[in-house]
Structure 1
Amino acid sequence: MPLPTVAIIGRPNVGKSTLFNRLVGKRIALVDDQPGVTRDRREGEANLLGLEFRVMDTAGYEDDDAATLPGRMRAQTEAAVRESDVSLFMIDARAGITPLDEEIARWLRSTDRPVVLMANKAEGKAGETGIIEAMALGLGDPIPFSAEHGEGVVDLFEALLPHVERDEEEAAEDSEAPDAPLKLAIVGRPNAGKSTLVNKLLREDRMITGPEAGITRDSISVDWQWPDAEGNLRAVRLIDTAGMRKRAKIEEKLEKLSVMDAMRAVDFAEVVVLLLDATRGLEVQDLKIADRVLQEGRALVIALNKWDVAENASSLFNGVKGALDEGLAQVKGVPLLTVSAETGKGLDMLMQVAFETRDAWSRRVSTGQLNRWFERAIETNPPPAPGGKRIKPRYVTQNKSRPPSFVLFGTRVDLLPVSYQRYLINGLRKEFDFGAVPVRLTLRASKNPFDRDKHT
């Protein structure tokens, strides 16, 4: 599905190109104090707090004969509005409303396209008069904004959201296809059996193995197909990595490079299997590796290898599980499986869980679903009022997946204590079945000086 389109409209030199550059994240449009720098329509892919759309920068709208250059530029602007899903009409709050602004507003009201009114250059008090004047244009309350400094971004996001948000089905069409190869990295301490595991999965001696620790030095990537329980062949890109020892024990330059290469493999992967040696149990280094994987935002699965020769299996499993829950407090319930790379036992279950974990890691939730849950969560457990100041959460939206990441908007939400943020994250996990994949929550407090809540 094509991205929704937003056209930036306004008279010359009100800051349209500056806003365009901010939305696309690059200095694509030329910006100068001289009016009329932009002549042709310029397009780019914008990302506003995770909201994705196509944005068009247009020439300054001028009242000239259609045969003149300014007249032809105006025709391009009118075409941009016809092609857009919503128009951003920008005025200069410091200069106030001009007759040309009023003419553009009359024209926009006559179109069948929704309009969001923006009062640019509104930083400080110099723009207050222009903001008040803009209310008379008949296009709703203006958004105080500074394209130069990025003030008012949250309010712009809220104004655009109803017009450009794609539903969950459309977003899924543009996300990575579910039949794309699973990027699966195998990590762990030296001699945990990583290469043996990869060879068993491939059913060939692809990797050199042996009792000596540290045989694998480079991260080796192998394309493979796993036959699932239904007989379907699922594409996998397997990545075998060098063993990760404690930093104090990494002495040789070559081994340091090998560990760095292993960490790059983690960055590349979607799901990371941390392989533990069941004959040695869980060590501090294992927890450090697991924490690093989660910090990088990757989905984690933990496998206890050499289970066929493990002693006191039940108590060992429960002990490792308890230590993981305590040592990885930020993510409870990371999948813990038992396998034998030597015999192949448990490997099909490992692959099945890896695919299921990627599904959760890639999951998107619509804003409507999120906010129905959010309203219930806030009603069940209202946010605190630190120092007597009321915190007013407005709503939450998912700005990206892989890993699932959410943005919470509202008044003073930046004052929410960590415990309440954890309450919301745990609620997201449970409600939308994210399991133990990393879930991130960003707080966006409104800095709009004209916010109705500012005196509450």
Structure 2
Amino acid sequence: MVAKVAIVGRPNVGKSTLFNRLVGKRLALVDDTPGVTRDRRVGEARLGDLKFQVIDTAGLEEAAAHSLEGRMRKQTEEAIGDADVALFVIDARSGLTPTDETFADLLRKSPTPVLLLANKAEGRAGEGGLLEAYSLGLGDPIAISAEHGEGLADLYDVLRPVVDAAKEREGGDAAVAETDVDVDDVDERAPAGSAERPLRIAIVGRPNAGKSTLINRILGEERLLTGPEAGITRDSIAVDWVWNDRHVKLFDTAGLRRKARVQEKLEKLSVADALRAVRFAEVVIVTLDATISFEKQDLQIIDLVAREGRAVVIALNKWDLVEDRAEAMQAVRDASERYLNQIRGVQIVTMSGLHGQGLDKVLDAAFKAHEVWNRRVSTSRLNRWLDGVLTHHPPPAASGRRIKLRYMTQPKTRPPHFVVFCSKPENLPESYTRYLVNGLRETFDMPGTPIRLSYRKGDNPYHSKR
């Protein structure tokens, strides 16, 4: 069993900075604004030879249970209950506050062991707060600086017994599950959907389109923070799950608004984190609010995903609230045919994240889109098809001379990428490229996936003899 360590404390004491220090990557968003972290994030931590799971949580605040702060506090309490030890972080520079004392009482009543950390203790400015921390009655405080990496040797000493106890319960060394957004350690040779290579699916869309609600319904638990407020999600949270014996890693992302409206630094960081999740994903489910007509921002999000070369599935959420479903579906299909030529034939699935309707259809569509995204066509089939195309619709002439398309091959998949060797690629019009792409899509059954087509000019053996 892997040791689980939860980092808790009031807002803006450096919890996310400590989380990033322990995982060795800048995964959690960090800003001077209090309350940046909302959902709990799990990551693989390494401290010396210790390996454990570390959980970043929202700042503990006193608030009504139905409010956003109250729902954030409930997420933090669930993380504390699930952890083997809680790291209670205070700000040594600002000293103890009444909020620190209130939540020290809460942690004292919890069955989870608590370790007290006085962060920002570098220099003389933190000495007063470090001494005040003794009054909390949670044992000797450990002076650290998450920003500068000071005091981690003392933290190692107190965490060592916790990690060793977890290993003994497992009966040996336990592997730590990778739960962050990075995919450096994924075995690309393993089949997609296996434990070694879970299918990476990112959920994107505009704010309040129901992305977090969809993931919660898939998981069957309130893992992510949801509510009527728009823009609740800030970090891109990765969650592991198994569906029909196939392993999946789901990425919840922040809502993507129009670029002109994104002014605040924190929202810019959230958008950048969401785009990073899209680049790491294999399949992207674009979630649309079915009660709102297909808007320009939806098209821009889908176009962004297509330009990144990801497999795309369009999920019409809140379908239970639509009155005239036939008209709504026809409007979406018309917009897709008119504006989404780069992913013609994309799968459009209706669902309701709140009531759990259509979830199997969404995931089944994601695996089908991934299969098309990985499709490879043999060179012989491609060139037989190219011969037929040239017979029925040859490329236009340039300056009175015919452009010759000699040979075609597919060097890459994910997405499918085709290369055509020809005599004058710079003179081929864009319309003929679209004609070839549409022909490839229809002939070799590749609907809804971006197709790359590039040209390469063959060497002229008489160039040096001119």
- TM-score normalized by structure 2? 0.57
| 1:177 paired residue among 188, 191, 194 | 191
| 2:311 paired residue among 282, 292, 299 | 299
Q: 1:205-284 residue pairs with structure 2 within 5 A?
A: 205-227=222-244, 233-284=245-296
| 2:400 paired residue among 378, 388, 391 | 388
Give the Cα separation in 2 of the matches to 1:327 and 1:298: 18
Give the Cα separation in 2 of the matches to 1:311 and 1:253: 39
Q: CA deviation at 1:321?
A: 1.5
Task: Give yes or no for the alignment of 1:435 onto 2:443.
Answer: no
Give the Cα separation in 1 of the matches to 2:401 and 2:282: 41
Give the Cα separation in 1 of the matches to 2:321 and 2:188: 46
Q: 1:274-423 residue pairs with structure 2 within 5 A?
A: 274-423=286-435
Contact 2:415 2:449 (8 Å CA) reproduced: yes
| 1:191 paired residue among 183, 195, 208 | 208
Q: CA deviation at 1:176?
A: 5.4
Give the Cα separation in 2 of the matches to 1:385 and 1:346: 51
1:390-439: CA deviations, max 9, x gaps? 21111100010000001100211332211111111111111111111000
Q: 1:110-149 residue pairs with structure 2 within 5 A?
A: none
- Residues 415 and 297 from structure 1, CA distance in 2 versus in 1: closer, same or farther, beyond 3 angstroms? same
Q: CA deviation at 1:440?
A: 0.6
1:79-138: CA deviations, max 9, x gaps? xxxxxxxxxxxxxxxxxxxxxxxxxxxxxxxxxxxxxxxxxxxxxxxxxxxxxxxxxxxx
Q: CA deviation at 1:234?
A: 0.9
Q: Which amino acid aligns with 1:332?
A: R
Q: CA deviation at 1:445?
A: 1.3
Task: Give yes or no for the alignment of 1:203 onto 2:220.
Answer: yes
Give the Cα separation in 1 of the matches to 2:445 and 2:451: 11
- Residues 318 and 261 from structure 1, CA distance in 2 versus in 1: closer, same or farther, beyond 3 angstroms? same
Give the Cα separation in 1 of the matches to 2:417 and 2:189: 15
Q: CA deviation at 1:281?
A: 2.2
What SS does the corresponding residue of 2:390 show, helix, strand or coil? helix
Contact 1:392 1:413 (8 Å CA) reproduced: no
CA RMSD of aligned residues (A): 2.0
- Residues 451 and 391 from structure 1, CA distance in 2 versus in 1: closer, same or farther, beyond 3 angstroms? farther
Q: 1:83-122 residue pairs with structure 2 within 5 A?
A: none
Q: CA deviation at 1:451?
A: 7.0
Identity of aligned residues (%): 54
Contact 2:350 2:358 (8 Å CA) reproduced: yes
Q: Give unmatched runs, 5+ long, in structure 1.
A: 1-172, 228-232
Contact 2:375 2:416 (8 Å CA) reproduced: yes
Q: Give unmatched runs, 5+ long, in structure 2.
A: 1-186
Q: Which amino acid aligns with 2:307?
A: Q
- Residues 419 and 320 from structure 1, CA distance in 2 versus in 1: closer, same or farther, beyond 3 angstroms? same
Give the Cα separation in 2 of the matches to 1:201 and 1:289: 23
1:260-285: CA deviations, max 9, x gaps? 11011110111111101111121111
Give the Cα separation in 1 of the matches to 2:432 and 2:269: 41
1:33-84: CA deviations, max 9, x gaps? xxxxxxxxxxxxxxxxxxxxxxxxxxxxxxxxxxxxxxxxxxxxxxxxxxxx
Deviation above 6 Å: which 4+ runs of structure 1? Answer: none
Number of residue-to-residue matches in the alignment: 277
What SS does the corresponding residue of 2:328 show, helix, strand or coil? helix
Q: CA deviation at 1:211?
A: 0.4
- TM-score normalized by structure 1? 0.58
Give the Cα separation in 1 of the matches to 2:238 and 2:308: 20
- Residues 400 and 199 from structure 1, CA distance in 2 versus in 1: closer, same or farther, beyond 3 angstroms? same
1:351-373: CA deviations, max 9, x gaps? 01100100000111111121111
Contact 2:376 2:410 (8 Å CA) reproduced: yes
Give the Cα separation in 1 of the matches to 2:210 and 2:386: 44
Query: Which deviates more, 377-386 or 335-344?
Result: 377-386
Q: CA deviation at 1:251?
A: 2.4
